Amino acid sequence: MKRDSCASGKLASAFTPFLLVLAATACGPSPLADLPTNSSVYVEMPDGVRLAVDVWLPDDLGQRGRVPTLVSFTRYWRAPAATPTVEALELMRDAGYAFVIVDNRGSGASFGNREAVWSTCETRDYRHVVDWIAEQPWSNGNVASIGTSYLGNTAENATFDPSPHLKAAVARFTDFDWYASLLYPGGMRNLIITSDWGEGVMAMDQNRLRAERSGDNVLGRRPPDATWTGVKPVDADTTGALLAAAVAEHHNLHITDFFRDVHFRDQVPTASAMEDGCENMVTPYRFQEAAQRNAIPTFHWGSWMDAGTAAGVLARFASYDMPARYVIGAWTHGAYYDADPFKPRDTPVSPSVPGQFAQIFEFLEPYMLGGAPPDPLTPVLDYFTMGEDVWKRTASWPPTGSTTQEWYFGANGTLQRDPPANSAGRDRYRVTFEVGGGPETRWSTQLGGTEVFYGNRAAADSLLLTYTSPPLEEPLEITGHPVVEMSLATTHNDGAIIAYLEIVHADGSVTMITEGQLRLIHHALADSAPYPAFGPHHSYLEADALPMVPWEATRISFTMLPTSVLVKAGDRLRIAIAGHDRDTFERVPAEGEPLLTVYRNAAYPSLVRLPVVAR
């Protein structure tokens, strides 16, 4: 990174912990060298709420001169009382960046309260923090927001109402549509987030830590050997009185209690403009116009094996007209571990964390050093095809050469290319509520970036309704969003359907690839979608709820999570049908054991539409 060892400075802001610094306008020893490497202060927002802010400066600031800044906004404590060494932090400082991390209002050591998750009020704070950064004597005035998971969402949200000093954003593993991406995929309540995560962050807001559901560090993951005893006070708070006063103000929305009674999208106040009240959540898809208008270059990351993060990346890539770069790999949440289902569970992540940051720094450099404006950034997507172990690049989605193959449910648990010709084919399945995805899934990895490992699904499939193809005669690349269409009857007014796309190998072992789900009360199709759905779209609105008529065949269709996988010749495709996932979702219905009827005949066919790419 280019160094500015002769840059002029200015008087430090009154908020700063630093000594008043008047940098010389002529070359000579830089007073920046005397600034502390780490400092922690309060920064006051226009409404009087004070936010706790940690500042980390490069060790060689005196030689570098004023530097660009990366900023993260978190609700997971900007730092614990005993700060561990964090690899990402050291990588940023070594690359010549200052790093600033902020406890969002109502969390950590910050004052205020939280009326919603990702509220408009906390989002409006970001521009003021960026302005404050630009005023500091060590800042060159260029700031980029960065983060993973919740911090990734805040990094993107900062672009909707940006400070003029915000030059770029790096948003990793985010929730494009908080309802459908994570909290209620298919309209089904995700207990891992609405309950487990909710209880964990509520404890952190009160300066407590649930050991079994620990918070994340500055870029999304707590070091496994770190001991956290509480949030770090600011430097001036030598007695802890300010921290206690801040925590006392954290009268926050109780996430678990709130979402326990939520079933429909419109039961949650959601912002359509940044001026909306603090009870409104900011969900990125509703701010596409703002993102495009502000045109802050953004680097989006997602994974095929991480909840709905890949789906969100693809929705943006296919519809946004703005400078951006996109990448989808086969990683855990945050890309801390490899999650390619065809590799051993201990396979080192690729690229490594330093390799990932090398890509981030390459993306950021044109925007952060000043000088001539960079060349316009043309949107491009890099994605990884599992089973082939190959990275690919495309300028459009679906990729060039994509077509659709229909695979129909057939007699005796078969999956066939030909539509059924019989007039009475059907299968019955009694829902068992004792089955699940296991403890290491695309959903559980959202808590701290833990491993994704489904293992051999053969035993689990013995409790499900399965349809399996003959061995493939030639390799088949599936890249995109599979779509399930079923003719289904149930004995209850409501219920759930989960479909897993799997590969059965010659030795009988079964590999999980992707999944899709739908709460049956949401089965009505919407006339339009607010963003590309790449398949049938459901509104999840209360007015569109449509109970099932018991025993009546009903057309059910839903889009599975996207994937990119090469199925080898000799392997077989499988669709496995469940009515519950005990490890992830709320039980629907709350009582009873529904009997499902899956029709597979000429009048009422059931099938999966696979997006395939010619080879």
Q: What is the pLDDT of residues 144-174, one digit of tens each?
A: 999 999 999 999 999 999 999 999 999 999 9
Q: Which of 107, 110, 139, 149 is catalytic?
A: 149
Cis previous bond, 532, omega within 30: no
Q: Which amino acid is at 217?
A: N
Of residues 263, 333, 492, 538, which has the active-site annotation? 333
d(CA 476, CA 271): 42
User: Where do we find the tokens 């890249």?
Assistant: 479
Whether residue 7 has pLDDT greater than 50: no
Dist CA 177 CA 162 (whole Å):
21
pLDDT band at 12 (very low <50, low <70, confident <90, very high): very low
User: Where along the chain do the CATH 2.60.120.260 domains lie?
Assistant: 402-613
Question: 493 pLDDT band (50/70/90 cuts)?
Answer: very high
Residue 22 has pLDDT above 60, yes or no: no
CA torsion 64-69-75-79 (nearest 10°) is 0
Residue 28 has a pLDDT of 45
263 assigned to active site: no
Q: Please state, rounded to an integer, the average pLDDT across all residues of the chain.
A: 92
Give yes or no for a contact between 176 and 102, defined as CB atoms under 8 angstroms apart.
no
Domain with CATH 3.40.50.1820 in the chain: 31-394
Q: How buried is residue 226: exposed, middle or buried, by Cβ count under 10 Å (0-12/13-18/19+)?
A: middle
Does 418 score more than 90 pLDDT?
A: yes
Neighbours of 478 (CB within 10 A): 25
User: 179, exposed or middle or buried, with CB in 10 Å at 0-12, 13-18, 19+?
Assistant: buried
- pLDDT for the residue numbered 374: 77
Is CATH 2.60.120.260 the classification given to domain 402-613?
yes
**Annotated catalytic, 333?**
yes
Residues 6+ apart with CB under 8 A from 554: 487, 488, 489, 523, 548
Q: What is the pLDDT of residues 34-71, one digit of tens each?
A: 899 999 999 999 999 999 999 999 999 989 999 999 99
CA angle 124, 130, 132 (to 5 degrees): 110
Contact 181, 157 (CB under 8 A): no
Nearest-5° angle of CA 377, CA 337, CA 395? 25
pLDDT of 322 strictly over 90: yes
Retrieve residue 310's tokens.
Answer: 């890949």
200, exposed or middle or buried, with CB in 10 Å at 0-12, 13-18, 19+? buried
Where does the pLDDT of residue 19 fall: very low under 50, low under 70, confident under 90, or very high at 90 and above?
very low
Q: Which residues pair with 374 in a beta bridge?
A: none
Quote the pLDDT of residue 79: 87
Could you please state the CATH topology (level 3) that the domain comprising 31-394 is classified under.
Rossmann fold (3.40.50)
Which pLDDT score, from 0 to 100, does residue 210 have?
Answer: 62
Please pick, among 54, 205, 306, 340, the residue that the annotation labels catalytic: 306
Reported confidence tier of residue 359, pLDDT bands at 50, 70, 90: very high
The DSSP symbol for 16 reads -
Residue 362 makes CB contacts below 8 A (sequence gap 6+) with none
**pLDDT of the residue at 82:** 60
